[in-house]
Structure 1
Amino acid sequence: MTGGRQLETTPCRHRSGFVDEPSTYYEVFEPLEPSSLPPVLMITGGVHSGACYLTTPDRRPGWAEDFLRRGHRVVLVDWPGVGRSGHVPPQDLTGRVIVAGLGKVIAAIGEPVVVLTHSISGAFGWKLVEEHPGSIAALIGIAPASPGNMEAELGRLLRDEGNRKVVAMPSGHTVLDLDRTLVFPPEFHSAKLVGSSTRFPRDAADQYFRSLQGISGTVVFERTNIGGGQLRVEDTSGFVGKRILVVTGTEDIDHPRELDAEVVDWLTAAGAAAEPLYLADIGIEGNGHMMMLEDNSSEIAGVLMNWLENTLTG
């Protein structure tokens, strides 16, 4: 499907489509003036669809429009099993299935892309670099999950009841049913996604929480890496020379500066040209886990685009 569209206030060309096995929906926004920069594939974290890059809870334009206005092409994607991609039984939805769908979207784009990941999808991004190194021009990880190789555990297993795991996480105790789609209460989302952020539009928080998706219990348990379940990178050769930026806010409960710095160290040891960006170091403070939705989201988008344009043209 191809046609014209106005994304909030910016006219653009728009097309959308699906790849199969697994079914994965994507859409492409292109500025009316041709761009020589590679498309930016924005992959969401958990409990979100690609819509989280279209608009913010307080109804400002999202990162998709920020990038589009600057002349970047943008690709948004819904994970397999999420949103417009259609249903996948939760017990069958794993990180490997999601990576397979994302890899087919990259192939459908037909040229190298910049991959932007957030949170849990950081683990998918590292696997995409391993499996599609020539199709990824650079990678930006926003509070990214570490690869399973690092053996960092996000949480502590309190009780193991087979397919039901009771886990203590920084944002609170939770029950993970591996064969179900989980829907977390607003209190959990408030602790994890908002936390102590001074930038989140709290007046819109309740409506935002109601908009969130369910998520496969298996995928969440993989993310904890309890028992080594997180996706691992088996071959690091694709990381050699790869330009990667890891971005961390000051108020992210699951991503203290030291933890994301360890991810950068692992990437560097794998041969990547990896850089940390702790936002406070450039005078940006108060951001939590959802910096693409917070009141200074456009400022952060500008920082990311500056890095990206300098990386790709410098």
Structure 2
Amino acid sequence: MTASKTGIARFGSFYAGGRQLRITGEPVRSIAFTQTASYEYDPNGLFHIEQAYVQYFIPAEQRCALPLVLLHGGGMNGAMWEHTPDGRTGWAQAFVDQGFAVYIVDNVERGRAGWAPFPGVWPDAPIIRSAEEAWSLFRFGKAPDFPARQAFAGQRFPVEHLDAFICGAVPRWLSNNDTAVTTLCAALNHIGPCLLLAHSHGGEVAFRAAARCPDVVQGMVAVEPSGFCPADAIPSLGLRAGLFVYGDYLDATPTWETLMEKGAAFRNALVHAGIGAEWWELAKMGIYGNSHMLMMDNNSDDIALKIGAWLQEHF
């Protein structure tokens, strides 16, 4: 299958989910926006927090009946689908070109969803991923080789643009998984019946949301997921089919060896429950050199075409 360029008929965005929060008892203080604009700022009042921001792109020629929802991984936001660190177009464009209506989610506290700067609303402090952590965890290269930026042999990730990549790292609150599931459900219910493609940490959020929204999520693509729904939630899934996609160098760290074992066990549980779940290890398919960030590797368009063809075959 090859992509045929298709124009965008319309695009837009909306917010979904979240809750209202009223703040009281905080002191009023003088602030200055600029050297000439100052006033008394009252931080008390009614606020909306924990919403998702969803941007959508509807192609002029829609060749799949179901829209495709893209969910980011941990410490990332929806911008990860828009472009690659070396300036190529990302999976959002690739799937629109294949005729999918594409919805990109910034979930709770990420990107344009905003976050809650109020003490005690979220019990933990945020964390953010360093370049060194991304280097080894995302399988760009071995940890000792980070200072020299010496990547794995055959690595497809554009490591010469690592500095551009880490610009996209954003804070995350580890306590927000449950909230992220609830908010994603709100976004999915707004969109309606759809296909859901999730990356890394987004796998847990996506599978749990799919179990809560069985009439909405018809199919899923899990790109190197690091989490899943509980086993007792599997019967609640309404998936017609699912696809797991993994890159290369999966034996590079004990972390990934463990994640692969857990992923395979979850996929087997889906099959046992009667859900068709296909498993792709790209290196075993003759496609070598892919990192954890398949949507940014130098063959990202080819992988998007393969995934798109699978989706159109099954849906």
| Matching residue of 1:242 | 240
Residue 263 of structure 1 deviates from its aligned partner by 2.6
Q: Does residue 60 of structure 1 match 2:142?
A: no
Distance 1:140 1:266 in 2: 16
Distance 1:240 1:44 in 2: 22
Partner secondary structure for residue 91 of structure 1: coil
Q: What count of residue pairs does the alignment treat as equivalent? A: 221
Contact 1:251 1:289 in 2 (8 A): no
Alignment-mate amino acid for residue 284 of structure 1: I
Residue 43 of structure 1 deviates from its aligned partner by 0.3
| Matching residue of 1:75 | 103
Match of 1:117 among 198, 208, 224: 198
Partner secondary structure for residue 245 of structure 1: strand
Alignment-mate amino acid for residue 242 of structure 1: R
Partner secondary structure for residue 88 of structure 2: coil
Distance 1:68 1:272 in 2: 27
Q: Output the TM-score relative to the length of structure 1.
A: 0.65
Q: 1:11–1:264: structure 2 CA closer, same or farther, 3 Å change rule?
A: same
Residue 248 of structure 1 deviates from its aligned partner by 0.8
Match of 1:144 among 225, 229, 241: 225
Partner secondary structure for residue 95 of structure 2: helix
Contact 2:294 2:300 in 1 (8 A): yes
Distance 2:308 2:270 in 1: 21
| Matching residue of 2:208 | 127
Distance 2:205 2:95 in 1: 22
Distance 1:302 1:95 in 2: 31
| Matching residue of 1:150 | none
Alignment-mate amino acid for residue 125 of structure 1: A
Alignment-mate amino acid for residue 285 of structure 2: I
| Matching residue of 2:288 | 285
Residue 24 of structure 1 deviates from its aligned partner by 1.0
Alignment-mate amino acid for residue 126 of structure 1: F
Alignment-mate amino acid for residue 275 of structure 2: A
| Matching residue of 1:37 | 65
Match of 1:262 among 262, 265, 280: 265
Partner secondary structure for residue 295 of structure 2: helix
Distance 1:240 1:30 in 2: 25
| Matching residue of 1:85 | 113
Contact 1:42 1:74 in 2 (8 A): yes
| Matching residue of 2:12 | 15
Distance 2:227 2:181 in 1: 15
Contact 2:247 2:292 in 1 (8 A): yes
Alignment-mate amino acid for residue 246 of structure 2: T
Q: Output the TM-score relative to the length of structure 2.
A: 0.65
Residue 234 of structure 1 deviates from its aligned partner by 3.7
The aligned runs of 1:270-309 (5 Å cut-off) are 270-309=273-312
Larger radius of gyration: 2
Deviation digits for residues 246-272 of structure 1, max 9, x if unmatched?
111112444345443223112223332
| Matching residue of 2:179 | 97
Uncovered stretches (5+) of structure 1, i.e. residues with no partner: 1-7, 148-230
Deviation digits for residues 68-90 of structure 1, max 9, x if unmatched?
01111100011111111111354
Contact 1:10 1:65 in 2 (8 A): no
Distance 1:32 1:84 in 2: 26
Contact 2:197 2:223 in 1 (8 A): yes
Deviation digits for residues 110-131 of structure 1, max 9, x if unmatched?
x211010111111112112210
| Alpha-carbon RMSD | 2.2
Q: 1:104–1:85: structure 2 CA closer, same or farther, 3 Å change rule?
A: same
Uncovered stretches (5+) of structure 2, i.e. residues with no partner: 19-49, 125-174
Distance 2:122 2:303 in 1: 34
Distance 1:235 1:259 in 2: 16
Distance 2:283 2:64 in 1: 32
The aligned runs of 1:153-164 (5 Å cut-off) are none
Contact 2:6 2:59 in 1 (8 A): no
Partner secondary structure for residue 95 of structure 1: helix
Q: 1:103–1:233: structure 2 CA closer, same or farther, 3 Å change rule?
A: farther
Contact 1:239 1:270 in 2 (8 A): no
The aligned runs of 1:173-212 (5 Å cut-off) are none
Partner secondary structure for residue 108 of structure 1: helix
Alignment-mate amino acid for residue 262 of structure 1: A
Alignment-mate amino acid for residue 64 of structure 1: A
Q: 1:240–1:49: structure 2 CA closer, same or farther, 3 Å change rule?
A: closer
> Among the aligned pairs, what percent are the same residue?
29
